[in-house]
Amino acid sequence: MLIPIPSGPSSLLPKSFYTGNDVVNIARSLVGKIISTKIDGIHTSGIIVETEAYRGPDDQACHAKNDIRTPRTEVMYHEGGILYVYICYGVHPMVNIVTGEEGNPHVVLIRAIEPLTGIETMSERRGFYRNAVGLTSGPGKVATALGIHRVHQAKPVWNPSDAIVQLYDSGLSGFNIVEGYRVGMSKYTGPCAFRPWRFFMDKNPFVSRPLQVHYPDAWNAVD
């Protein structure tokens, strides 16, 4: 089940990885990278297999749509390379990586990972689960399994001396990336729901759900 990672040293992604490109390109290139956490001295990690780009202010699916700048969205406006953690439905934390230069509210949502290390710990954090795939096959699951919560808001992910959250190049290659509509859109999102800003590793069982081919026509219009 596990992806074979090429041996040899894996390299920490530098800060420039997050600031020197557009959020959509970064979301695509994060598929196949490694996200790791060291929380309470325990190391967990996984291969990123699914991401989404959120590109405010001109993206109605983004929390910073129309440049809504509030205490919640403030972190998104920071320089890229830090965490944005958001609680969805009052229950589930979601792991996002801020990208771009300061002032651009751009983030990448980590939607699914394939577990690599610390699987026992991830299982404990998640509680009982029906099968191995259910461990990290969704954004809320990913945050819980990795132990990321709102206390980690604005944490840098590129700092060699801060191992709380880090992203690495895996050296993994030979996989295909599928792109499609983002998950969880509604008619209130408007035309932005149809931007192909979701990326996932083809045929990977940890991807949260099948490719969304189209949304109902009703979503094109808001009442």
Partner DNA sequence: TATAGGATAGGCT
Partner DNA sequence: GCCTATCCTATAG
Tokens for 34, please give them: 């490694």
Secondary element (H or E) of residue 24: helix 23-30
- Residue in 17, 44, 47, 52 binding DNA, rule: CB under 7 A: 52
First-to-final CA distance of the chain? 46
Q: Which positions from 11 through 50 interact with DNA, judged by CB under 7 A? A: none
Residue 216 binds DNA, judged by CB under 7 A:
no
The Cβ of residue 144 has, within 10 Å, a number of other Cβ atoms equal to 21
Residue 81 binds DNA, judged by CB under 7 A:
no
- Residue in 70, 131, 161, 173 binding DNA, rule: CB under 7 A: 70
Minimum distance, C-beta of residue 156 to DNA, in the bound complex (Å):
18
Residue 133 binds DNA, judged by CB under 7 A:
no
Task: Give how far Cα 58 sits from Cα of 32, 123, 220, Å.
Answer: 28, 38, 17
Residue 194 binds DNA, judged by CB under 7 A:
no
Q: What CA–CA distance (Å, rounded) separates 112 from 32?
A: 11
Binding site for DNA (CB under 7 A): 52, 54, 61-63, 66, 68, 70-73, 84, 86-92, 94, 96, 107, 109, 126-130, 134, 138-142, 182-186, 188-189, 208
